[in-house]
Amino acid sequence: DIQMTQSPSSLSASVGDRVTITCRASQSISRYLNWFQHKPGKGPKLLIYAASSLQSGVPSRFSGSGSGTDFTLTISSLQPEDFATYYCQQSYSNPPENSFGQGTKLEIK
Amino acid sequence: EVQLVESGGGLVQPGGSLRLSCAASGFTFSSYDMHWVRQVPGKGLEWVSTIGTSGDTYYPGSVKGRFTISRENAKNSLYLQMNSLRAGDTAVYYCARGDQLVRNYFYYYILDVWGQGTTVTVSS
């Protein structure tokens, strides 16, 4: 099984800050990496797919990079609505058992 | 509007059964893989099951033999029959649509539409 590890597990930041979340795969997954935003009471929202492609309708302050085993999600200038939990997910293996990282909770400082 | 709406969650005793439903609208349901994903309280997202467009099904070891995913394309509906429920199955259950996108000649699989979730509590 491919294991996905995110860091940090939690992060405090202020509106306007630049934030980076990292995700590491236990083996190479090429660019088969998605990023989700999850808010309480809602379903997860796809932000980034194929490591760096922005899903339709997602603000351009979100960006993704990386390939192989190391990936990053960057929010260039935090907005109040960005405080949420973020998950990476590998889509290299199918079915997607253990495909999600453990999550990064982004909180207001 | 593309939408998924889950229902059927509730409180059930250990060893009991529950059937979740997911109503799809705004897209051609039969053309997409569908998934169930759960979030255990205080933990992350965990894939629960997948059903392909041809009816092929997949489960992780934690639910295999206890959960059954099915679909009824004529009703645009997805189901999850959960039997022999355990306390560890307590979670919010989400249905999600699977799709493939092409970038630079490669196919990438995404879960692009999610419902709002339905809560299952397994407790005596």
pLDDT of chain B, 124 residues: tens digit per residue: 999 999 999 999 999 999 999 999 999 999 999 999 999 999 999 999 999 999 999 999 999 999 999 999 999 999 999 999 999 999 999 999 999 988 888 889 999 999 999 999 999 9
Element (H, E) at B119: strand B118-122
Asked if B7 and B118 count as a contact pair (C-beta separation under 8 A), the reply is yes
Residues 26-85 (B) with a CB less than 8 A from some CB of A: 35, 37, 39, 43-47, 50, 58-61
Cα–Cα distance measured from residue A71 to residue A75, given in angstroms and rounded to the nearest whole number: 14
Q: Does A43 touch chain B (CB under 8 A)?
A: yes
Among candidates B106, B110, B18, which has minimal Cα distance to A89? Answer: B110
Asked if B35 and B53 count as a contact pair (C-beta separation under 8 A), the reply is no
Number of C-beta neighbours around residue B83 at 10 A = 14
Number of C-beta neighbours around residue B48 at 10 A = 25
